[in-house]
Amino acid sequence: MKAAVMRANNAPLEIEDLTIDSPGPGEVLLKTSASGICHSDLHVIEGGLPMPPPCVLGHEPAGIVEEVGAGVTDFAPGDHVIGCLTSWCGVCKFCTGGRPYLCPTQFAGRPPEAKPRLATSGGDPIFQFANLSSFAEKMLCPERSLVKIRDDMPLDRASLIGCGVTTGLGAALNTVDIPAGASVVVIGCGGVGLSAIQGARITGAGKIIAVDSQAWKFDIARQCGATDCIDASAGDAVSAVHDLTGGGADFVFECIGLVPTVQQAVGMTGRGGTTVLVGVVPVTEMVPISAADLTLQEKKITGSYMGSNRFRFDMPKYIEFYLDGRLHLDEMISSRIPLDDVNDALDLMRKGEAARQVIVFD
Ligand SMILES: NC(=O)c1ccc[n+]([C@@H]2O[C@H](COP(=O)([O-])OP(=O)(O)OC[C@H]3O[C@@H](n4cnc5c(N)ncnc54)[C@H](O)[C@@H]3O)[C@@H](O)[C@H]2O)c1
Ligand SMILES: [Zn+2]
Ligand SMILES: [Zn+2]
């Protein structure tokens, strides 16, 4: 099967012919139908999220089940599914405590002594990213990385729910509790930020202020629910937020992952407000912030991982939101591309010149 392989950091992905194993116990073989491209894939390529090459990236997939391994009871050939990187074990304190997205075993693939799921035609193992590796025509996943969805949901739009939508929507719906009428800022209008804007709208937030340095994204942000937009390249976005909100917002979602925009997010947060860090700052970087600013104004900062999801519960619900018109996915897709064009798509993402790009397979 054809796959895009990361052979080294900061180099183009190589399109190669790989082998994929048959499903073992608890595993499911899928035909990949579509895979969104998330900035976390780019972070891995650039080294900000360390993963060992050679590796197949891609973690925002939808597909169709081809074959199931021994003991798989939740899926059958022909099922339409979404894949999610927060696989869960079901028995640890996070899983049993209701926060399976924090399960520490989520990236554990097959045991090291087992045959690898992915390999070159010569048998050399290829690392599978997050049990998914969706920049490939087929995927071999644990059943607990998958959720079955309605057959009438278009699979290209369903793929977005696999990461970006679940992350942004869930940050607003699950990680924090936004009262109706609260003021919300979302910094970064990529797939994640546009989804956070939609989450804020769905919870009934008041002002929803979108911030980005690419003003062309504001049409999409408004369609997603933004009431106001601030061009970060045109002046001081922090004081613009203070002007619009009368002293700072109740909730600020940072959806980029840069040191300066995390600092801006804290600065945009008003007295008693909450800063939600969704963007992934490269693991090598630290963010200086004023502790006194937090103490004296009782601001809170929280991280939000994968939209604090319970994806077998959340994703079918998000599909209902799409089908009943509340969740706008068509507007978020700036292009559908073949796998061969993945490097061009990553370049567009680097430059901020795309919203969500989706790889579609025949
Ligand atoms: N917390 C999680 O679980 C989780 C899950 C998925 C993705 N992420 C992270 O979320 C972040 C966003 O992902 P994405 O796929 O939406 O990315 P993206 O590249 O599609 O979007 C980023 C947006 O930020 C804008 N931008 C860049 N620099 C800016 C600046 N200085 N000021 C204002 N706007 C700026 C770009 O124009 C773009 O619209 C990434 O860091 C990604 O790794 C986190
Ligand atoms: Zn992602
Ligand atoms: Zn667990």
Distance of CA 254 to the CA centre of its chain: 14
User: Whose Cα sits closest to atom 11 in ligand 1?
Assistant: 279
Q: Measured from the CA of 163, which atom of ligand 1 is nearest?
A: 6
Sign of CA dihedral 279, 310, 135, 340: negative
Q: What share of the chain is helix, strand, coil (3-state, %, to 5)?
A: 35, 25, 40
Condensed to tens digits (0 to 9), the pLDDT of residues 45-94 reads 999 999 999 999 999 999 999 999 999 999 999 999 999 999 999 999 99
pLDDT for 222 beyond 90: yes
Beta bridge pairs of residue 138: 31
Q: How many Cβ atoms from other residues are within 10 Å of residue 243's Cβ?
A: 11
Q: Measured from the CA of 40, which atom of ligand 1 is nearest?
A: 43
Contacts (Cβ under 8 Å, ≥6 apart) of 305 = 101, 102
3-class SS of residue 51:
coil
Amino acid, res. 9? N
Which pair of structure tokens corresponds to residue 110? Answer: 């097959």
CA 258 / ligand 1 centre spacing (Å): 9
3-class SS of residue 166:
helix
CA 143 / ligand 3 centre spacing (Å): 14
Condensed to tens digits (0 to 9), the pLDDT of residues 134-155 reads 999 999 999 999 999 999 999 9
Ligand with minimal distance to 306 CA: 1
Q: Where does residue 216 rank: exposed (0-12), middle (13-18), buried (19+ CB within 10 A)?
A: exposed
Q: How many helices and strands, by DSSP H and E, does the chain display? A: 11, 18
Condensed to tens digits (0 to 9), the pLDDT of residues 183-215 reads 999 999 999 999 999 999 999 999 999 999 999
Task: Give me the torsion for CA of 154, 129, 98, 151, rounded to 10°.
Answer: 20
Distance, in Å, from the CA atom of 32 to the CA atom of 155, rounded to the nearest integer, reads: 10
pLDDT for 112 beyond 90: no
Quick check: 311 and 84 in contact, CB under 8 A?
yes
User: Whose Cα sits closest to atom 10 in ligand 1?
Assistant: 279
Instruction: State the pLDDT confidence band at 290, using cuts at 50, 70 and 90.
Output: very high
Instruction: State the pLDDT confidence band at 331, using cuts at 50, 70 and 90.
Output: very high
User: Whose Cα sits closest to atom 21 in ligand 1?
Assistant: 190
Instruction: State the pLDDT confidence band at 9, using cuts at 50, 70 and 90.
Output: very high
User: Burial letters for 329-351: b for 16+ Cβ neighbours within 10 Å, e otherwise?
Assistant: bebbbbbebebeebeebbebbee
